[in-house]
Structure 1
Amino acid sequence: MVYVGQTLRKVRIRVSERKRSISNFNPTDKKTHILVGRHFHTAKHNAASLKWMVVAQVERPLRGGDRKKFLLKYEAKWIGSMKSVEPLGMNEAWSLKIFL
């Protein structure tokens, strides 16, 4: 199952956060209900079974602008092309609002 995410931080930090969401998932505590954690809990996997890869590294836009918005658009394209919105994947939502 696929999850697409973007970050401005180091990949190591982002992956560590996902592993923590898997390890800390508690079915009775709604604060821990992140789709990735819920999937791993339901499938009886642990954080060690998480596989990840960087599919693209996006450089800062040459003309400046809102880098976060640029990354969100890029992420949305990958979510669409990878079909990673639940139930097929582990992304909770996909919106075209950022393209407007």
Structure 2
Amino acid sequence: MVSRNFNTANNNQSQLRWAILEVISPMQRGGNLKEKISQREAYWIKKLDTLYPKGMNDNWSIKCFL
């Protein structure tokens, strides 16, 4: 989705920007790292308001919090 939108807008690589929002380290006492990553992704989608139609994330679920 990002690449399609980027290419159809006649952009080039010099215009592409990205940033690391958060580093998630493996949990010291175990736990489900994939679940933790999903929770943090949901947090950032909500915080940055990137859910469709304002952003490019077209689906989002709270199931990672349940």
For normalisation by structure 2, the TM-score amounts to 0.82
Q: Does 1:37 align with 2:3?
A: yes
Query: What does residue range 14-93 of structure 1 map to in structure 2 within 5 Å?
Result: 35-93=1-59
Q: Please give the per-residue CA displacement for 1:5-49, whole angstroms capped at 9, x wherever unaligned.
A: xxxxxxxxxxxxxxxxxxxxxxxxxxxxxx101211232212331
Tell me if structure 2 keeps the 8 A contact 1:72–1:98. yes
CA deviation after TM superposition for structure 1 residue 72, in Å? 0.7
Higher RCO (C-alpha under 8 Å, 6+ residues apart): 1
Distance 2:18 2:2 in 1: 12
Alignment size in residue pairs: 66
Unaligned runs of 5+ in 1: 1-34
**After TM superposition, where is structure 1 displaced by more than 2 Å over at least 4 residues in a row?**
none
Structure 2 gap segments, 5+ residues each:
none
TM-score scaled by length of structure 1: 0.58
Report the CA distance shift for 1:45/1:87 in structure 2 as closer, same or farther (over 3 A): farther
Residue 62 of structure 2 corresponds to 96
Matched AA of 2:6: F
Residue identity over aligned pairs, in percent, reads: 38
